[in-house]
Amino acid sequence: MKTTEMNVCQSCGMPIRNMSDFGTYPDGSVNTDYCFHFYQDGHFTDPDVTLEEKIARNIALAQRLGVSRQKAQRMARNILPGLTRWRKAGRKVSS
């Protein structure tokens, strides 16, 4: 199997480059949809988070990594609502 596209976590939108950064199923196998930070042993580590909260957290995280607030907000609002986890939830971003 060939990976042509970079994998992006379908919960937080972060790029995943290493197998060890992927989430895991209960049997220990790798779930390539999500990253290890938010998906472990078959469930989300932050199951109660809303899309709005997730966007706010991502903006804060990106800013800590040196991204400007404006750019971080644009990225989070563009990327997160289209990810599998949030599309399934059927939630809309309110402004």
8-state DSSP, 40: E
Binding to Zn ion by residue 11, rule CB under 5 A? yes
- Reported as half-sphere exposure (CB side, CA atoms, 13 A), residue 74 has a value of 5
Identity of the residue, 18 or 95, whose beta carbon is nearer to Zn ion in the bound complex: 18
Q: Which of 7, 22, 35, 59 binds Zn ion (CB under 5 A)?
A: 35
65 secondary structure, DSSP code: T
For residue 61, report the phi and psi dihedrals to the nearest 5 degrees. -65, -45
- Chain positions 37 to 56 lying near Zn ion, rule: CB under 5 A, are 38
Nearest partner of 85 among 19, 31, 26, 41, judged by Cα: 31
Q: How many residues line the site for Zn ion (CB under 5 A)? A: 5
User: Stretches 34-42, 44-52, 65-73, 76-84: which one binds Zn ion (CB under 5 A)?
Assistant: 34-42
Query: Which positions lie near Zn ion, rule CB under 5 A?
Result: 9, 11-12, 35, 38
